[in-house]
Amino acid sequence: MILLIHKDEKVIKITDLDSNQSLSSESKKPLHVLFDLANQYQNRILIWCHDSHQLSLNIEGIKSSFYLKNMMLSFSKKQYLPEQIGYIEDSPFLKVNKGVKYPTWLMSSEVGVIHASQLVKFESRIDIKKSFDFVLNSISKIGMPYGLLCYSEPKLLNNSSSFAGEKKASISELFKFVKHHYKWVWSILLFINIVINERKFPVLAFLKTILIKKNAQVLDFDLEPINPVTINFNKTIDVIIPTLGRKKHVFNVLQDLSKQSLLPQQVIIVEQNEDENSKSELDFISDRTWPFKIVHKFIHQSGVCNARNLAIKIVTSDYVYLADDDNEFDGNLLKEIIYHMQYYVFKVIAMSYLQKNEIEKHKNVIQWNAFGGGSSVISSEFLDDIAFNMVYEFGYGEDTDFGMQLRDSGADVVYIPNIKILHLKAPIGGFRTKFVHPWEKDALQPKPSPTVMLNRMQNSTKQQLLGYKTTLFIKYYKQQSVKNPFKYYSRFKKQWRVSEAWANRLSKAV
């Protein structure tokens, strides 16, 4: 490890922590020195730390948290970019829980870690004339979509640490950052949102970025542990399958599971049928011999949230695969899962879940901005404190909310495109009745759906919620019948307020 101590955009000290020797550099600018070090010591871990944090730097915490070469860690109690970045970024990476290791591209010059072999990839792709914080955020923003795993990690510092100063980007720097890293239209939407929501008119800041082009880069990051990892294939995995009226497909999933090179410890099937007089149609569970334990729950209540919550309480293995009843996969699926979860120390993975003839868009392992209940694996240590929120039953947002609960618990959701599951997208089967939400009877329908609104209110920043409101207002105009823009604006505001009211009622319901 090599430690760089800086203050006021100047390097104070460089120390090789392995030999405890001081190093020198011709430059005094932190960015220049970091890139010089990265080129000289390409197989070393580089740490930057503000002078005020020297005594609080947690070297052991860094060692335990930084275990993959394609990681970038940082920590600060306050972010460099203004909260207005939320107006144009709709992702889970902005509402950062500072108490856990949380996935985010929001980096800080206060303290951080990156591997030299990864840093050198950016040398010709960024403008190192800009401030330290600006470039650190550029590196993470460019790298994250291609497999640079970026986190806010409180373990980098001891709890007693406090920062002597506060660095915050100006509105002008924010517009520059947006123009460098987003499509041009988002710069316009940022301007509109600031005008609408803050009654400010940053015309000059906006105009100064007119000629700036997006920093279009394509990078490649391979997963590589810092230290050798031993795989324990005695680790166990359970499989959860909620189902309703898809007998044939459930049988096929069990057949695929029975052919696994590493068998599940138990398969938990929650079969639903609202008819109180009905009987289970899954006779093959007891009529056949299966090479794993099957826990079969037959209930007269429909709803995937309830079904998964019931199953989660029965999980006893190290990992749990949340499956659908219309999955198809090869015989090495569970073995690949166990390997990836251990070798790369992943806590939650999302697998490729495409339909026939769909093409996979992602080549690298990346931090996923979503969560899918039918194609994800979770380390069971997180299941005691989280569950699918029943408020979202028969609505929208249960998977998104569950994913946010995982992130807030310190578990990143990592997408692995080379572990593939075929989604058959089977036709709806069995007896189903349409669930009627109470707001569907209202004369003025809420916009958006109250469950969507609740999800946004709970899992987004204030600026993200307002940015979503602006975007929805623009997109919805083409779809609705009121073409007078003033009448539409008035109606939209009323619908939004109705949705907020219902969302607040829902939040108190469970």
Tell me: do 384 and 478 sit in the same domain.
no
DSSP state of 506: H
Structure confidence at residue 126 as a pLDDT band (50, 70, 90)? confident
Token pair listed for 267: 């398969």
**How many domains are contained in the chain?**
3
- pLDDT for 300 beyond 80: yes
Tell me: do 250 and 216 sit in the same domain.
no
Domain contains 490: yes
Domain contains 428: no
pLDDT in tens, 222-242: 999 999 899 999 999 999 999
Looking at 187, 207, 228, the residue that finishes a domain is 228
- pLDDT for 164 beyond 60: no
Tell me: do 270 and 252 sit in the same domain.
yes
pLDDT in tens, 336-356: 999 999 999 999 999 999 999
- pLDDT for 166 beyond 70: no
- pLDDT for 173 beyond 80: yes
Task: State the residue range of the domain holding 480.
Answer: 438-507
Q: What is the mean pLDDT of residues 287-299?
A: 97
Token pair listed for 214: 């997006």
Tell me: do 268 and 308 sit in the same domain.
yes
Q: What is the C-alpha to C-alpha distance for residues 503 and 496, in angstroms, rounded to an integer?
A: 10
Tell me: do 60 and 137 sit in the same domain.
yes
What is the model's pLDDT at position 426? Answer: 85
pLDDT in tens, 35-61: 999 999 999 999 999 999 999 999 999
Tell me: do 357 and 475 sit in the same domain.
no
Tell me: do 108 and 182 sit in the same domain.
yes
Token pair listed for 348: 């939650």
Compute CA distances 215 → 108, 147, 207, 218, 222, whole Å: 20, 17, 18, 10, 22
Q: What is the mean pLDDT of residues 372-383?
A: 95
Structure confidence at residue 187 as a pLDDT band (50, 70, 90)? very high
Percent of the chain scored above 90 by pLDDT? 89
Structure confidence at residue 219 as a pLDDT band (50, 70, 90)? very high
Q: What is the CATH number of the domain that holds 281?
A: 3.90.550.10
Domain contains 449: yes
Structure confidence at residue 431 as a pLDDT band (50, 70, 90)? low
What is the model's pLDDT at position 429? Answer: 64
pLDDT in tens, 64-107: 999 999 999 999 999 999 999 999 999 999 999 999 999 999 99
Q: What is the mean pLDDT of residues 460-487?
A: 95
Domain contains 430: no
Contact 451, 392 (CB under 8 A): yes
What is the model's pLDDT at position 167? Answer: 80
Tell me: do 266 and 343 sit in the same domain.
yes
Strands 266-272 and 237-243: parallel
